[in-house]
Chain A
Amino acid sequence: MSAQGPGSGSGSTGVEEPSPPAGGAPAAGGVAPLANGAQPSGTPSGSAPLGSFVSLWLRQVRSGESSVLPVVAGFIVLVIIFQTESAVFLSAGNLTNLLVQGATFVLLGMAEVFVLLLGEIDLSIGYNAAVGGTAMALLASQPNPVPWPLAILVGLAVSAFFGVLQGTLITRLGLPSFIVTLAGLLGLEGVLLALLDLNGAAAGGVVQVTSNVISDLVNGNLDNVAGWIVTAALVAVFGTLSIRRDRFRRTNGLHAPPVYVTLAKVVLAAAAGFVLVAICNTNRGSVASPVTGVPWVVLILAAFIASYTFLLGRTRFGRYVYAIGGNPEAARRAGVSLARIRTICFGLSGFTAAAGGIIYASRLGSISSDFDGGSYVLYAVAAAVIGGTSLFGGRGKMIHAVLGGVIIATIYNGLGLLNLSAAVQYMVVALVLLAAVILDALARRQQRVTGR
């Protein structure tokens, strides 16, 4: 497999999903003719020729509008380093493992993106995730377990409730989100311990996941053939939609990327899907007991990314989220209910965090007081920011959480393979995070220089 295996692998979901709303999402990759607005050009641009498209895109990258490129470049560097140092890194088994490890980071990162886009922060999602995961595990594992879908729904609802509760306090009382969610971090750790105690002292503060279905969310795999079919279908749907959409925009004189760019995007998505399935379908067990197939969790992540990207890019709600992050006063004057949008975002943040907690419990087969919600929330913020979401609001996409989550998982996975100490691991993550924040700050400065 190529050195970009896991990147394009998880990217297959990513490259694929954010594109439909590209026209709608602010600073979306597909929005080409940015900056340099002073040239009088008579006709507002419809479809630009490829050359100018590329040069504008490069300018966009330099000015920090398109933050995906440096992230992908950094990722490739990491992969090369790890593969040089440890031959196991790019093995099918390790790459699949990395994807699965990254799932919790990605989901928590997406949870954080919702609030970061508003220019707020949610420190509680780590323990909120654990509370949702524990609620699910408790319900599914008691002597009379409830059906697994119900257990999952309750888990999601519990965390969404805590999210809405915090959001309500923040918006209605005008409290800073930092403090309210800091209280949430502490309080929800208490709730987590209380929930674990419900299981009885004999269990030692651990809830086992006894439902096979829930365990299979992460540990189960699609059949090899099914993996190919599902991926092919997803790529086909994505390809058809984006080609048709861009063609419609071009023929109607609306803003659209040149046809090569649309095709390149589709080809890239297809290639990424192909690589992903090829890796996952390689035997990663032993010869005697082979393990193959795309893990279910990959499809779950794809579903989350697709729906959230759609929500942020194609609906009024998403537009308002970006508007509030960009200029709350302008949004208020435009008649946007700031309190409502903000509260919903905190609710969605809790909801998504619970999904991360459930995936965590599914992967490990249990959830316990060992869960370090404090670290997880920081990794979630790091994942979102490393991926390119701005801490200052208004700039970011769901795909950023995927990129950032995979990068964090890569660092952990790779440094683990190299047998480096925890001390080194923390320091490396810190450096990567710093690099990401510096990029963000530089992008903002660049914008201030080029704006006006």
Chain B
Amino acid sequence: MLLRLRGISKSFGSVQALSQVDLDVPAGTVTALVGDNGAGKSTLIKAISGISPPDSGEIVWKGHEVHVRTPRDATALGIATVYQDLALCDNLDIVQNMWLGHERLRHGLLDETTMERETRQALADLSVVTVRSVRQVVGSLSGGQRQAVAVAKAVMGKAELVIMDEPTAALGVTQTAMVLDVIGQLASRGIAVIVISHNLADVFAVAERVAVMYLGRIAGQGSLSDYDTQRVVELITTGGDSRAFAAGVASAGGSGARLPGRD
């Protein structure tokens, strides 16, 4: 197991944003993290990526307990996060964006040759073929292309886990397909991906595992083959699962079968 969360809790004042979250992320798989607004998806992501560390609980990375206090810690471990706003500079071209902050230098000057080659390679590795030129400014790219550039940038280092926050929100059909393809490419290269999504069609298209959050806890998680759309929707909306007892798989989070009432 690449990443294992145990008993992660986080509260903001009197609001319990995360309570006793357990989550397993195997290497090289795509895990979809779904849940309604306010269910705690973003808070959980921020806990993993070091933006807002949890109050309690353990993060186990490749079998060792680690402390992720800052985004830098997460990057050092190999956890890359692609936020919804992508954090790209529209006025810079693809190469410049990809290397922003860790430019290759040669004799103290920017080594455009190496950076351009490796950028092209990185995009090719993700099967991004629609980009006309890596010297195109990012502002002129389509939404899907921008997403692809942001992903390529994130995995340019030695990322082993990529977290993507709503990568297909606001994208058209073609663009969504392209982004889902990029996600599939990541997994096939052995990189684990956590995708936050509202779009269940996307989830079922690309994910192998699913984790459903409800009011700050994991309502159910497991292999996607054990879930169908109706069951996921039920977990998202009620936090409960009428078939959980029968199937017996939804309780990996420890609370899968409970009713929507508070603990």
Contact = CB atoms under 8 A, between A and B. Distances in A.
A37 B134 CA distance: 10
B73 to A, nearest CB: 14
Contacts, number: 136
B140 interface: yes
A27 B134 contact: no
Given A37-B132, A44-B131, A255-B135, A326 B90 contact: yes
Interface residues of A, number: 46
Interface in B103-150: 103, 105, 108-110, 112-113, 116-117, 120, 123, 129-137, 139-143, 145-146
Interface stretch (A28-36, A87-95, A398-406): A28-36
Interface in A297-332: 314-316, 319, 322-323, 325-327, 329-331
B132 A394 contact: no
B92 interface: yes
B47 interface: no
A327 B134 contact: no
B109 A314 contact: yes
B116 A45 contact: no
Given A44-B131, A326-B90, A327-B89, A37 B113 contact: no
A331 B87 CA distance: 8
A394 to B, nearest CB: 4
B32 to A, nearest CB: 25
B31 interface: no
Contact of A322 (B91, B135, B139, B143): B91
A26 B91 contact: yes
B128 to A, nearest CB: 10
A330 to B, nearest CB: 4
A38 B146 CA distance: 12
Interface residues of B, number: 41
Interface centre among A33, A37, A254, A450 (most CB of B within 10 A): A37
A334 B89 CA distance: 11
B96 interface: yes
A333 interface: yes
Nearest to A23: B112
Interface string B83-109: 001011111110011001111010011
Contacts of A323: 89, 92, 96, 100
Contacts of B142: 37-38, 452
B89 A23 contact: no
B87 A37 contact: no
A37 B129 contact: no
A39 interface: yes
Contacts of B100: 319, 323, 330-331, 334, 336
A36 to B, nearest CB: 7
Contacts of B137: 26-27, 34, 65
Interface string A434-448: 000000000000010
Interface string B131-175: 111111101111101100000000000000000000000000000
A33 B135 contact: yes
A330 B91 contact: no
Contacts of B109: 314-315
Contact of A336 (B92, B101, B123, B134): B101
Contacts of B145: 37
Contacts of A333: 71, 87, 101
A326 B100 CA distance: 12
Given A44-B131, A255-B135, A319-B103, A325 B116 contact: no
A24 interface: yes
A293 B165 CA distance: 64
A98 B48 CA distance: 62
A41 interface: yes
B184 to A, nearest CB: 18
Of all A-B residue pairs in the complex, the 9 with the closest CB atoms, nearest first, are A334-B101, A326-B89, A326-B91, A394-B91, A330-B87, A33-B133, A451-B139, A334-B100, A335-B101
7 contacts: A23-B116, A24-B112, A26-B91, A27-B91, A27-B93, A37-B141, A451-B90
Given A37-B133, A315-B108, 16 more contacts: A26-B137, A37-B136, A37-B145, A41-B130, A42-B129, A44-B131, A44-B133, A65-B137, A252-B113, A254-B116, A316-B105, A319-B103, A319-B110, A322-B89, A450-B140, A452-B143
